[in-house]
Amino acid sequence: MSDPGAVESALTLDPTLADPSVLGLVPAALILLGGGFTLLAAIGLLRMPDLYMRMQSATKAGTLGVALIAIGAGAHFGRAEFLIEALLIIAFLFLTAPIASHLIARAAYHARTPLWDRSVRDDLAGLPEDAPSAEPPPDRL
């Protein structure tokens, strides 16, 4: 006869596979949510009517998507160095993506890239190219 303990151990699955905990589902949910936001950014690139709206879609949704994926990956590995790296990636992304988007939009505007024909407002119309966009503060004595 076979050993009953061997049969019981063969029928028992790994507890992490048989009973997934909430801690195991959190990284997966973050990565899936990040993928969803990244997909929305890609759809926005295809569906938005002009360059400026496409840039807004790609910058906002894409940045949030990559941030959620990085946090999910850091949480999946669960070690402090991975979480620190994920936070550094997010900080770098949050600092550079809006600046890059702004500079590209400004260059496109100065290159006379047309706005969508149904745009209702152009805040830079009528300003000289090199003029500051706001009045300088008054001098105070």
3-class SS shares of the chain: helix, strand, coil, % to 5: 70, 0, 30
Binned at pLDDT 50, 70 and 90, residue 118 comes out as confident
For the chain, the structural domain boundaries read 20-110
pLDDT at 17: 45
Environment class of 34 (CB within 10 Å of its CB; exposed 0-12, middle 13-18, buried 19+): buried
pLDDT at 78: 82
Flag whether the pTM goes above 0.75: no
Binned at pLDDT 50, 70 and 90, residue 11 comes out as very low
C-alpha closest to that of 70 among 60, 80, 82: 82
Average per-residue pLDDT for the chain: 80
Q: Which two tokens stand for residue 116?
A: 């969508």
pLDDT at 129: 63
C-alpha closest to that of 25 among 13, 14, 17: 17
